[in-house]
Amino acid sequence: MIVLILMRFAINRFVKLCVRSSIMPEVRIEEVSRFMRECFQATGVSENDAREHTALLLQADFTGHYSHGLNRVGSTHFGMAGYWAQRAEKQGLIGMAFTNSSPLLVPTRAKEGTLGTNPIAMAAPASGGDSILVDMSTTAVAMGKVEMKIHEGKPLPDGWAMDQNGKMTHDPNVGFKSGRLYPLGGLEETSGYKGYCLSAMNEVFCSTLSGAKASHQRPWGATDPEDPPNLGQMFVAIDPGCFAPGFGDRLADCLSHWRNLPPVDPSLPVLAPGDKERSHFEQTNKRGTIVYEAKQIESCASLAKQLGVKPILTL
């Protein structure tokens, strides 16, 4: 009996592994880049702009933020906010980037979304080639994480998402369907109003200053060409050379101090902001390929047909 159960377990596991590997196609970096560029050019984007936009989306897949990479080809998406901050950082500057977006964040006490995931990004260079990268939405989590819980068949933690009536839900399907996310901090008793405040601050920077649409004026997924998204962004670059000398050394000291703090669990060392992205970037670079969900590649195949572009080639 036990042997039978074990065998069934082993077979299930084998099947799952096969399914898993069959659903995770791998693509060479140059091939992803070629596909993105050709898609943009097929819709009339200039060669230069196509190259620039490809670099933006590719950076997200490189660093493990797949929700902002290949799956955003041809869309109206801003991409990964940190990319813009890092462009300034590569020039020796402190870079910052902000954008408003579509109404997914529900302010504390409200029952419907009105602010965007309105991300905040900051990057700065440290001595010895080190750097800091902050790149975060002002919601508790991105909608993509709710979607992942659906795939995993797991309940949502407290303070991630709400149902249609603004009540907290642990059911990822309910949270995904309602499109209502808690601000960073979650419920009011765990200071969710701070995430709401950050998102509102971002709104002031991105739409109030620039005259672009506010997040609540741009429903998610709206694609009417007569009514462009018209969202707003703010970019900041600060030259640390204008302030006290020794910026790079002091930042390197802080980064190293944080990384060397004693961890609660020795198998999970403390990271400095941006370490996760850097490590993912280095792994991708070394491997020379990016691994995608099968669905992603299927959707690219249909896009290729639509645009008359050579389909993406998986390994």
68, with CB counted inside 10 A (0-12, 13-18, 19+), is buried
CB 170 within 8 A of CB 155: yes
Query: Strands 94-99, 233-238: parallel, antiparallel or unpaired by DSSP?
Result: antiparallel
Q: Which residues neighbour 315 within 8 Å (Cβ) at sequence distance 6 or greater? A: 25, 26, 27, 28, 289
- Per-residue mark of binding to a second copy, 87-106 (x: CB under 8 A): -------x------------
Supply the minimum distance, in Å, between the C-beta of residue 169 and a second copy.
13
Query: Strands 161-162, 168-169: parallel, antiparallel or unpaired by DSSP?
Result: antiparallel
CB 56 within 8 A of CB 83: yes
- Window 269 to 288, contacts with a second copy (CB under 8 A): 269-273
15, with CB counted inside 10 A (0-12, 13-18, 19+), is exposed
Among 191, 233, 289, 314, binds a second copy (CB under 8 A): 191
> What tokens were used for 90?
């590569």
Supply the minimum distance, in Å, between the C-beta of residue 254 and a second copy.
6
Instruction: By CB under 8 A, tell whether 235 contacts a second copy.
Output: no
Instruction: By CB under 8 A, tell whether 17 contacts a second copy.
Output: no
Among 128, 155, 219, 263, binds a second copy (CB under 8 A): 263
263 phi and psi, to 5 degrees?
-85, 155
Instruction: By CB under 8 A, tell whether 198 contacts a second copy.
Output: yes
Instruction: By CB under 8 A, tell whether 122 contacts a second copy.
Output: yes
Among 210, 233, 299, 314, binds a second copy (CB under 8 A): 210
Q: List interacting residues with a second copy (CB under 8 A).
A: 94, 107-112, 114, 120, 122, 124, 132, 134, 136, 140-141, 157-160, 165-167, 184-186, 189-191, 193-198, 200-201, 203-204, 207-211, 214, 216, 238, 240, 243-247, 250-251, 253-254, 257-258, 261-265, 268-273
